[in-house]
Structure formats: C-alpha cells, structure tokens
C-alpha cells in the first residue's frame, strides 16, 4: 500500500527507502515548496484508526517541532494523508517530516563490537545534552535506544523520534503496536516494565542501558522473550560493565551502575547530573555522589525539602522590606566607625593570644579523635574498632580482585587523621572478585559454548569427554572451574575471569556386567540408561537370573541390549 504513495500533503515527494522498523518506515523526501531534502517517517495506517492516537499524535508532533537543538533531529511537519489501500478502501497514513541527517545509526556501530570508552562517553554525553534540552521543555522521550540515535560523518550525535512513543503509549492502540513502537524491552526502565507513570528519569535509565551496550557490545539483560527481559529490569542486578569488558574503567562502570538503579530516586535525577558524572569518569576519576544543585528537577519531581530556594527567597523579601526605618543621616559618623573598628581589632588580637597560649587538650580534650588504621582487617572487627574510637562507620561493599572477601579495602578518612568525635566514616569492604552469571551450557555444541564463555569475559580452559545416556556426542554435559574437578550443570554464578573447562558427551553409555543378577534388576538398570532391552528366556534353567548379555562396556546411546535369562522350572 505504501509503495503506491508518491506525494504527501501535495508537497512532499517520496523517494528511496532509508530504513524500516516495527511500526514505521523512513523514506527520503523532497519538500517541493521549500526545495529541501527531508526524511519522511510513514507510520502504520492501523494507528490512525484510533481517534485518541490521532489527537495525541498531533499534540506531540507540535511539541517536538518546537524543539530546536543541534543534538535533536528537527521535526518540520506532521499529518495524515488519505491513501488507497490494496483492498480499494481509503485509509489514513500518519506521517512525520523530519530533518534529513546523513550518518549511521548507533545500533549499526554497536553491531560491529564494543566502542572505545572515550567514544562511548562522548556519544552518551550527546544523548544527555539532547535530553537535558527536551526535559527542560517538558518532553520525555520514552524510547531512547541505539536505533533512535544517529551519528553524522563528523561525529555529531542526533536523537530522533521525540514524542512519538508517548503518542502511541497513551492512545488506545493495542499492546502489540505499543511494544513495537517503544522498541525492544532491552531498553525499558523498571517503571516502564511495571506499567507505571514515567518521567525524565526513565530516559536516563534507558541512556544508561545504551551506554552499557556501547561499552560491552551487548545489553545488560537478555532473555528468550521481551517479558523475560522486562522482568530482569525489575528484579535483577546487571553484571558491571567492567566485568564483561575489562577495558572499561571502574569509574565508568560505577557511573553506568548508578544510572541503572532500580529505584528512580536512587539513579541520576537529571541529565545534567548524569553528564557531569560521566565527564568525571571519562577523566579516570570515580565521581562523588554529592547531591546536585537546585534546578528544574523541582518542577518535575516536587520541591526538595533541603532546597536553599526558600531561604534565598526569604532574604530577597527581607532586602525589599518596606517597613525598615527611613535613614535620615546623610553620612555615617566617621569617629564612631573608626572607634568600633579599633575595639574589634583589640578583642580579636586578645582572643588569638589566649587561644594560642592554651594546650589543645585544655580547649577540647574529648572532642577530637584519631582515626585508627583498620585497612586489611576483618570487616566486623575493623568496624567495631572505629566505633570504639568514637566514630560512626558506614559499611560499603565493593568487589575487588586484590583484597580477599570480608577484609577492609580502605576508609574515607586516612588513618591517623584527627576528626571530630562522632564523625561519619565510610568503610569499604571487599566482596571478593566480581561475579558473572554463567547461563546453562548443557546441550550446546563445543564451539557455541566457548563463544558464550568468552562473551562473558571468562576464560576457556580445556574440554574433556564423559559418557552420558542422552546428550548427543560433542555437546556439553557440564563444566568445571579452574583446577576444581567438581562438575557443575545449569546456570551458575562464578567469579569474573574464571577459567571454565567443558565436559562433552562421548555419545556412549557404559553397560555393566549383569550375568548372575536378577533379570528384573538388569532390565531396570538398562532402561535407566535409556537403552532398549530385548529379553531372551532360557527354559533349560530356572531362577530368573541373567545368563548372558549381548554387549557390555561402552556402547552407543539408545542401543538395544539382549538379556538371556533362566525361565525354566
């Protein structure tokens, strides 16, 4: 149907196909009225059957068209065109006319492998710059993903499709349509996955997912279905990026993990805050988690009770107080001013002489404490030592490949420093090496299992063989870690960087010697090995024991074993 359309709204000539997605296709176009090249997004006609969508679509297109920023793909026009469908009936074709941008989709760049950390940070900064602008304009994107980010030949970042996701998600379009427009569940925020109301912090979470994918080459959560992925966004913690790609710095990894906090109040509260921490991490430093300054967030999320705005407003009102007594003296009493200054100088000098003449213990003998050295101690004993010293310790768990689990890595205040009694002090405790969730490898071919291991940043060791009754030859039965010979199966959490050894099936089964044993026991044992059993009675003897068997030792899986047994009286 779309192929029959050549001109829209009497002015836009359709050209070659630029791309196609689940809910729309994008074509090159020419605005004949202004003689300029444009990109035209043609949405599915089925959306236009919903009146709520058409209303919301026009409103959101108008809001997007008002946004003019170098990092945002401009929207020039939007509307609906009546076209003839293949069945001969007229249908409404929603369309959006956008700025024509030359370049590549970020999704295509990621498909070639992880990006350099500096480049990933630069692109993420461009996305956040666009979001900072749109959020101030009151527009939440709702569908930040690599497929909605363009990178121009000169490296400029361009974000597109502002407002379209909201137009569809808030209409009565069916769930399948909404899912297609909102992109894959890989970029959902937890609140989106739960079906809750979204705000600017939803875009920041999705940007964190995109940054994770740029750094590692894969999304933080993967599953067999969108529902499974959405569930992980709600309930599971992602593997830190530096555990997947060791070239990612701990500082950059910390920024990503902060952006992916499940609770929207625990993640970045504004694009500016996210961008500031990203710039610090790109410089190799772990950002402070200092609260951001008062800004437009109060408009989006409510007034910050700790805000200084109220006190500043009070000062401004006091400064303009009309009830102040009117000054009648034309100039200050100079003699009084100089006399007052002289008195103050004398008082200050006297106070300084008195203070410096006293021993510190005479001023505040019990107010200062020296920070004990607890680095390398067990967490419980070290924290107790700090508490006994009069400090207020706060434990922070952190993965470490250099310090054993349970030992203190560092404290926020250096040992030997004198601080006030009751001072807060952070105690960083090692949780051991970072862990990786290794999914089940059973039934995978050896080459596929090795690829899976290496994708997770683990090390492939060796492969050994073992008999198994059902897993085909050459496929994985289980695995061992390093020098440990204990075989594991199913999904396991293993230390990052572990060496994984594969155990492969030989395609054979070991058959014991059943001669002299009851035929019923032999038959049950063979069936448990998934082998077929043929019984051959021998009337020359009695007792029901096996007198002969057709094979023993290693035999192919699902072989037939003939048992000869005594059946005589």
Catalytic residue among 31, 90, 116, 143: 143
Alpha helices in 496-545 (DSSP H): 519-528
CA dist., res. 204 & res. 293, Å (int): 18
Three-state DSSP at 94 gives strand
In 10 A of CB 367, how many CB atoms?
13
C-alpha radius of gyration, the chain, whole number? 35
CA dist., res. 122 & res. 278, Å (int): 9
Look at residues 20, 9, 166 and name the one whose alpha carbon lies nearest to residue 77: 9
What is the chain's length?
569
CA dist., res. 145 & res. 183, Å (int): 8
The sheet carrying 90-99 orders its strands as 7-8, 12-20, 24-31, 36-43, 90-99, 75-84
Q: 98 to each of 159, 178, 557, how far by Cα in Å?
A: 12, 22, 62
Following DSSP, what letter does each residue of 375-440 receive, concatenated? TTSBHHHHHHHHHHTT-EEEEEEE--SSS-TTBEEEESS-TT-EEETT-EEEEEEE--S-EEEE--
CA dist., res. 51 & res. 194, Å (int): 26
Contact 146, 114 (CB under 8 A): no
Look at residues 255, 216, 251, 258 and name the one whose alpha carbon lies nearest to residue 237: 258
The sheet carrying 408-411 orders its strands as 392-398, 424-430, 408-411
Cα within 13 Å of Cα(122), Cβ side = 10
With a CB cutoff of 8 Å and minimum separation 6, the contacts of 123 are 106, 115, 149, 151, 157, 214
User: Residue for token digits 């894969």?
Assistant: 218
Contact 37, 102 (CB under 8 A): no
Q: 468 to each of 348, 439, 443, how far by Cα in Å?
A: 90, 21, 12
Handedness of CA 260, 266, 270, 276 (dihedral sign): negative
User: Residue for token digits 């107790």?
Assistant: 384
User: Residue for token digits 């899912």?
Assistant: 179
Contact 94, 47 (CB under 8 A): yes
Look up 143 and say whether it is catalytic.
yes
Contact 150, 102 (CB under 8 A): no
DSSP E strand boundaries for 100-231: 104-105, 149-151, 157-159
Phi and psi at 45, nearest 5°, equal -60, -25
Task: Give me the active site residues, please.
Answer: 143
């Amino acid at each position: 149907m779309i192929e029959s359309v050549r001109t829209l709204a009497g002015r836009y000539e359709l050209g070659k196909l630029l791309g196609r997605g689940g809910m729309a296709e994008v074509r090159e176009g020419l605005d004949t009225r202004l003689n300029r090249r444009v990109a035209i997004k043609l949405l599915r006609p089925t959306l236009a059957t919903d009146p709520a969508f058409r209303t919301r679509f026009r409103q959101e297109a108008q809001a997007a068209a008002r946004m003019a920023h170098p990092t945002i793909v401009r929207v020039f026009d939007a509307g609906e065109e009546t076209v003839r469908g293949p069945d001969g009936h007229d249908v409404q074709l929603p369309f959006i006319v956008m700025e024509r941008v030359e370049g590549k989709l970020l999704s295509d760049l990621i498909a070639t492998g992880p990006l350099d950390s500096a480049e990933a940070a630069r692109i993420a900064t461009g996305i956040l710059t666009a979001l900072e602008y749109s959020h101030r304009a009151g527009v939440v994107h709702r569908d930040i993903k690599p497929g909605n980010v363009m990178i121009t030949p000169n490296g400029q970042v361009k974000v597109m499709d502002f407002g379209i996701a909201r137009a569809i998600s808030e209409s009565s379009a069916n769930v399948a349509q909404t899912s297609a427009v909102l992109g894959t569940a890989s970029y959902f925020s937890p609140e989106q996955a739960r079906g809750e109301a979204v705000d600017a912090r939803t875009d920041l979470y999705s940007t964190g997912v995109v940054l994770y994918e740029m750094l590692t080459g894969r999304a933080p959560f993967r599953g067999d279905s969108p529902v499974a992925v959405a569930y992980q966004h709600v309930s599971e913690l992602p593997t830190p990026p530096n555990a997947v790609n060791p070239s990612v710095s701990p500082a950059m990894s910390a920024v990503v993990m902060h952006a992916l906090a499940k609770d929207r109040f625990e993640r970045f509260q504004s694009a500016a805050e996210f961008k500031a921490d990203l710039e610090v991490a790109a410089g190799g430093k772990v950002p402070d988690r200092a609260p951001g300054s008062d800004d437009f967030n109060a408009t989006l999320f409510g007034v910050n009770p700790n805000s200084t705005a109220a006190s500043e407003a009070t000062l401004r009102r006091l400064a303009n107080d009309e009830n102040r007594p009117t000054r009648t003296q034309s100039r200050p009493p100079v003699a009084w001013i100089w006399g007052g200054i002289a008195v103050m100088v004398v008082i200050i000098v006297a106070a300084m002489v008195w203070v410096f003449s006293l021993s510190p213990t005479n001023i505040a003998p019990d107010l200062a404490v020296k920070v004990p050295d607890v680095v390398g101690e067990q967490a419980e004993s070290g924290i107790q030592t700090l508490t006994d010293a009069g400090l207020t310790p706060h434990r922070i768990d952190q993965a470490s490949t250099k310090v054993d689990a349970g030992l203190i890595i560092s404290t926020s205040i250096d040992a030997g420093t004198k601080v006030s009694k009751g001072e807060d002090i952070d105690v960083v405790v090692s949780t051991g090496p970072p862990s990786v969730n290794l999914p089940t490898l059973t039934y995978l071919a050896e080459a596929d299992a090795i690829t899976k291991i290496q994708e997770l940043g683990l090390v492939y060791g060796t492969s050994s063989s073992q008999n198994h009754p059902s897993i085909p030859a050459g496929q994985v039965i289980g695995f061992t870690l390093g020098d440990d010979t204990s075989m594991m199966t199913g999904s396991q959490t293993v230390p990052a960087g572990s060496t994984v050894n594969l155990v492969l099936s030989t395609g054979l089964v070991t058959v014991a010697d059943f001669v002299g044993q009851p035929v019923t026991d032999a038959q049950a044992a063979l069936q448990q090995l998934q082998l077929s059993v043929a019984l051959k009675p021998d009337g020359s003897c009695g007792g029901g024991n096996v007198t002969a068997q057709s094979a023993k030792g290693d035999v192919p899986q699902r072989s037939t074993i003939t048992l000869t047994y005594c059946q005589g009286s």
